[in-house]
Amino acid sequence: PDQLIRKSIKHGFCFNILCIGETGIGKSALVSSLFNTDFEDSPSTHFLSSVRLRAQTFELLESNVLLKLTVVKTVGFGDQMNKADTYQPIVDYVDAQFEAYLEEELKVIRSLFSYHDTRIHVCLYFISPTGRSLKTIDLLTMRSLDSKVNIIPVIGKADSISKNELQDYKKKIMSELASNGIRIYQFPTDDETVSEINTITNGYLPFAVVGSMEKVKIGNKMVRARQYPWGIVKVENENHCDTIKLRRMLCTNMEDLKEKTRAYYESYRRCRLETLGCRDIGPENKSVSLQEVIEAKRLEFCLEVERKEEEIKQRFVQRVKEKATMLEEAEQQVLTKCEHLTLMRQEEELKLGEKKKLLEDDKAHFVEKKAVTKSIQSQVSSVSSPV
C-alpha cells in the first residue's frame, strides 16, 4: 500500500469537470470557489450562433499532492433563437473524449499511464434560480447526457431565491427529473463508511450554490463571500448555501465518480467496437479475429473507394457530354444567325443596286434633258438676234 500511495502522489490525480449553464449563471465563480483558486477567465459573449465548449487545464498543488484539473465550460448555452440542437455540441464533446481514450487504448504502443485522460468525470448542470420549473432545454440536455456522464444538478446564484421558495423549488426539480426519466448522479450509499452522509446529502440535491471571485474580511479572516447592501452571503457557510457540501461530496466521492465514468466509457466502447464489427470469441459465437475485422473493413473501404471513383468518372463523362451538346447548340445558333445576316445583306445589296440603277437612269435622263434644253436655247438666241 505504501508503494501505491507514493506512486499515486508522485503521479498526481486527474479530475475533469463539465459545467453546463447559460451565459453568466455563475459557472466560473463556482469553480473558483470550489477549488479556492481564482482561475483566469473572460466573460463569454451572448452572440454565438451555436454552443461551444471551452476547456482549460490547471495544475493545483496541495500538501504535495498534484491535481490536474480540467474545467470545461459551455459558451453561449441557451443564447440561440432555435434551441433544438443546443445539447448536440456537448454530447459530441463528451463522445470525442471517449473516442480519444479508445484510440489511445487501441494503439500498438500505448501509454495509458501518462496519457492525459480527458473523459468527463462529473457534469455540474446549472439550473436558473427562477423558482418555477425546469426549462425544456434543461430536460433535453440532461436527458441526452444522462447515459454518458455523472450529472449533478445545481441551482446557480441561489442567493437570489428565498429560503422557503428554495425548498419548494428543489422538490419540484427533483420530481420533474424523475417524471421525465432523467437519471442524475446519486452519491453511493453501499459503502458503510460514507453511507450515512451520502444518504443525507442525496436529500440536498439539487445543490443550491453561490460562488464568488471576491474575498471579504470578516473578523480576522478573509473569506469568499458576496457583499450586498443588506448583508453578506458567505460561500463557505452551510446556512447560506450548499457550495461547501458540493465541494465535500466531490472530494469524498471522486473515486466513485471516476468508476462510474469508466462504466459509461465501457458502454461507449462496446457500442463503438460492435459497429466496427468486433465480437468476443465465445463458445456460441463464431470467432472473428481483429485481423479479420480489419481486413474486411479494408476491403469494404477499397470497394467503396472504387465505387466512388466510378461514380465520379461517370459524372465527369456525363458533364462533358452535356457541355459538348451545349456547345453544338450554341454553334448551330451562331451559324443560323450568320446565314440570316448574309441573306439580309444580299437583299440589302439587291435593293441598293436597284436604287443605284434608278438614280443612274434619272441622271442620264437629266443629262439628255439638259442637252436638249441647251440646243433649244442656242437656236432661240440665233433666231432673235438682229441681222
* Identified binder of ligand GTP from the candidate list 14, 17, 27, 224, rule CB under 6 A: 27
Task: Indicate the residue type of 258.
Answer: K
* Identified binder of ligand GTP from the candidate list 7, 8, 11, 24, rule CB under 6 A: 24
Closest-CA residue to 34 (of 188, 241, 193, 194) = 241
Question: What x/- string results for residues 122 through 161 when contact with ligand GTP is judged by CB under 6 A?
Answer: -----------------------------------x-xx-
| 44 makes contact with ligand GTP (CB under 6 A) | yes
- Given CA atoms 115, 116, 121, 125 in this order, what sign does their dihedral have? negative
**Residue-wise DSSP of 160-216:** GS-HHHHHHHHHHHHHHHHHTT--------SSTTTHHHHHHHHTTPSEE----S-EE
Residue nearest to ligand GTP (CB): 26
From CA 19, how far away is CA 232, in angstroms rounded? 26
Cβ-proximal residues to 74 (8 Å cutoff; 6+ apart), any chain: 19, 20, 21, 27, 51, 52, 53, 90
From CA 139, how far away is CA 265, in angstroms rounded? 23
From CA 132, how far away is CA 152, in angstroms rounded? 19
* Identified binder of ligand GTP from the candidate list 14, 17, 29, 155, rule CB under 6 A: 29
Q: Shortest approach of ligand GTP to residue 99 CB, angstroms? A: 26
Q: Shortest approach of ligand GTP to residue 24 CB, angstroms? A: 4
Which of the residues 58 through 87 are near ligand GTP (CB under 6 A)? 73
Q: Shortest approach of ligand GTP to residue 25 CB, angstroms? A: 5
* Identified binder of ligand GTP from the candidate list 12, 13, 23, 248, rule CB under 6 A: 23
Q: Which is nearer to ligand GTP, 246 or 258 (CB)?
A: 246
Q: Which is nearer to ligand GTP, 117 or 142 (CB)?
A: 142
Question: What x/- string results for residues 182 through 201 when contact with ligand GTP is judged by CB under 6 A?
Answer: --------------------
Q: Which is nearer to ligand GTP, 32 or 198 (CB)?
A: 32
Residue 124 neighbours by CB distance under 10 Å: 26
Q: Which is nearer to ligand GTP, 123 or 210 (CB)?
A: 210
The site that binds ligand GTP (CB under 6 A) totals a number of residues, namely: 17
**Residue-wise DSSP of 49-110:** SS-EEEEEEEEEEETTEEEEEEEEEEESTT-SS--TTTTHHHHHHHHHHHHHHHHHHH-SS-
Q: Shortest approach of ligand GTP to residue 160 CB, angstroms? A: 5
Give the binding site for ligand GTP (CB under 6 A).
21, 23-29, 43-44, 73, 157, 159-160, 210-211, 226
